A and B are shown apart, each in its own frame.
Chain A
Amino acid sequence: MHLDHHHEAPAAVSADARRPDGTRRALRIGLGGPVGSGKTATVAALCRALREELSLAVVTNDIYTREDAEFLLREAVLPPERITAVETGACPHTAIRDDISANLEAVEDLEDEVGPLDLVLVESGGDNLTATFSKGLVDAQVFVIDVAGGDDIPRKGGPGVATADLLIVNKTDLAPYVGSDLARMAADAKAVRGELPVVLQSLRSEDGVREVADWVRERIAAWTA
């Protein structure tokens, strides 16, 4: 009787914090941003920084290849069974915002197959400045831009830059070479984001992902509190 009841219980729908068996599901953090800004490199660095202390997995949303998933596999940041690629039919923003069903299934399958998990990182395919994640898919989202994409991007704003829970301005080591003004980028970001945090990072420096990893740790602490 009890088992039957379990099977007939509604499956976890989107944002439910509990899985059908009553356990707490993993925290889901989305990483979005333009092509080439360093989303996959940030995911790889986070995996290396956090894999000893957290049970984690990654879902990638490649636009037309498995390149991002294969990069993570090649770098061996996680065992292969903890990395899943979702195909997005030429519309990466649709898969993370308007029709999240394939991503939800990928997340749930990871929890079923390699769980229990503390954290699932969902990486968007490279997209434009309006691409944001549905709250039905992720609990928090990070938007990654880089200094080489133009130091006017924070000023231009848009949903990703303005509303993401964390904004990363990546590749700060390149700023002198591409003529980007870091102080101006930070000030512009502050102007459109108010109190929402901004991290300027270079993954070339030792422990370059530390600030972002600390932000993730705070999120995990809040999720499990």
Chain B
Amino acid sequence: MSRAALLVLADGRFPAGGHAHSGGAEAAVRAGRITDAASLEAFCRGRLHTSGVVAACVAAAAALGVDPGELDRAADARTPSPALRVAARRLGRQLTRAARATWPSPELDAVAALFPKGAHQPVVLGLAARAAGLTALDAAYCSLYEGVSGPATAVVRLLGLDPFDATGVLARLADEVDRAAREAVETAERVVTDGAGVLPARSAPLLEIGAEAHAAWPVRLFAS
């Protein structure tokens, strides 16, 4: 197992399409719910403990070898907003391309053939971690970290927020990311024996509602 491979996969510059998505931050900025570093931190914390945890559990389970089709159906069932399902599959397709080019693997080839328009991104993330020789814990970390770093980067662009303040938010969330990653792996291990039904179904209604409104805006900076 290579530690450096984790850095490659977790790098915000990994070319898998994430730069065009705000993780709901653009809608929250427009609604006045994110206005500064403190409200960005609250937003990221909420995302981390709701949809973030669900995604991390799915990614960790995929990294442990749980059937991608079963995990994809479970992710669908836990994503009420059609706009978010579209975004998750689009990002999954982009990650599939980048991961296959970076870490060629029969499992990634199989998921590309099974889901030509993309599986849910966390499913692909887990398989990418597997292909890179990484662990379920690594997959959970990648998922949780990009779930908070995406909105933080987007808010720097949307509000002109001081980038040092935005990075400070990520640093203050580090302990919570650690705990959530460990819990995600424990859950993923139960999925191996008990099936995808034991995955958590936490959600943040405002993220879902905001995503639907955002998808209908005629003018926006981010795809979601």
Q: Which residues of A contact B (CB under 8 A)?
A: 7-8, 10-11, 13-14, 63-66, 87-91, 94-95, 98-102, 104-105
Q: Taking the complex as formed, is B113 at the interface, i.e. its CB lies under 8 A from any CB of chain A? A: yes
Are B19 and A105 within 8 A (Cβ)?
Answer: no
Q: Are B97 and A101 in contact (CB under 8 A)?
A: yes
Q: Are A102 and B13 in contact (CB under 8 A)?
A: no
Pairwise interchain contact A87-B20, C-beta atoms closer than 8 A: yes
Which residues of chain B are within 8 angstroms of A90 by Cβ–Cβ distance? 157-158, 221-222
Residue B17 interfacial (CB < 8 Å): yes
A94 to B221, CA, bound (A): 13
Please tell me if the beta carbons of B16 and A8 are within 8 angstroms of each other in the complex: no
Q: How far is the CB of A136 from chain B (nearest CB, A)?
A: 9
Q: Is the interface of B mostly helix, strand, loop or mixed?
A: helix
Query: B74 at the A/B interface (Cβ < 8 Å)?
Result: no
Verify if B100 is at the interface (C-beta below 8 Å from A).
Answer: yes
The answer to whether B17 touches A99 (Cβ under 8 A) is yes
B interface residues, how many (CB within 8 angstroms): 31
Give the residue of A7, A63, A89 whose beta carbon is less than 8 angstroms from that of B154. Answer: A89
Q: Which residue of A lies closest to B101 (CB)?
A: A13
Report B's interface with A, CB cutoff 8 A.
13, 15-22, 90, 93-94, 97-98, 100-101, 104, 106, 109-110, 112-113, 154, 157-158, 218-223
Contact status of A11 and B100, CB under 8 A, knowing A90-B157, A90-B222: yes
- In the complex, chain B residues whose CB is within 8 Å of the CB of A65: 218-219
- Evaluate contact between A8 and B113: CB separation under 8 angstroms: yes
CB of A99 within 8 A of CB of B15, answer yes
Q: Which of B101, B157, B218, B221 touches A66 (beta carbons < 8 Å)? A: B218
Q: Are B109 and A10 in contact (CB under 8 A)?
A: yes
